[in-house]
Amino acid sequence: MNLVTPRRLEPILRSLERAVEPGDLESVIIQFRDYFRIDHTVYHWVSAADKQYRCGTYSPDWVARYVDKRYLRIDPVIQGCYQRFHPVDWKRLDWSGKAVQSFRRDAVAHGVGSQGYSVPLRGPNGQFALFTVNNNCGDADWERFTRTFQRELILIAHFFNQKALDFEPERAPNRSQPLSPRELDALTLLALGYGRAKVADTLSISEHTLRVYIESARYKLGAINTVHAVARALSHGLIVI
């Protein structure tokens, strides 16, 4: 599979910013798939009340069959990612069991690729969502793709989820605390791709002090990890890169 440069993520982020209704997310997710030259990209949201919203590039026949067969109950991607906060390569999930193997054969028959990578997402009021990229290629190519673009995949997943939440009519506005200048500096340098040691050196502080700034910023932004904090700071316009 052919790889693209990370800077090509920028047009997708601009398209997300311009989205004004849920239907606009469909075109953005197709744009994401085409930029990264993969087979499928899917966003799947399950609320605490089991209300579902999805958009993506799987065939309508497969989406209808997934719902009709109630595959949500046995899908290893849903079940496995619900227990995790970090991105999950599908190969690391449990695909044993007769029902699950039958589900996988059915998915492949409907055009779902053999390789998958899903980013678990969590929001207010029990929201749980997944942002998934899917492709049909060898293990070595897929491992190289996910290793190269892990940061970009996580960022776009959180941006996409944030935009989807913006369209939720009952969503209460966020009340985040302002970030300090040092917290903003730290997140900006991390967003630029600096490692923690280089960030600490640039700011002339210890790595321990840097961790304090990052954890404080993460708490204020309501982020589950550092990458999520950077994504939220970017989406709220608190930092610019």
Is 230 in the same domain as 126? no
Is 151 in the same domain as 188? no
Predicted model pTM: 0.70
- Is residue 76 assigned to a domain? yes
Q: How far apart are CA 173 and CA 195, in angstroms?
A: 32
Task: Pick out the chain residues at pLDDT < 50.
Answer: 3-6, 172-173
> What confidence score (pLDDT) does residue 176 get?
58
> What's the domain range around 188?
181-235
Is 97 in the same domain as 61? yes
12-15 own/partner pairs: CB under 8 Å, 24+ apart: 12/156, 13/156, 13/159
> What confidence score (pLDDT) does residue 164 get?
84
- Is residue 144 assigned to a domain? yes
Is 160 in the same domain as 41? yes
Please report how many Cα atoms fall inside a 13 Å half-sphere around the Cα of residue 93, on the Cβ side. 25
- Is residue 176 assigned to a domain? no
- Is residue 80 assigned to a domain? yes
Task: Locate the DSSP E strands across the chain.
Answer: 40-46, 52-56, 88-89, 115-122, 128-135
- Is residue 1 assigned to a domain? no
> What confidence score (pLDDT) does residue 96 get?
92
Is 19 in the same domain as 138? yes
Is 152 in the same domain as 194? no
Domains in the chain, number: 2
Residue type, 131: F
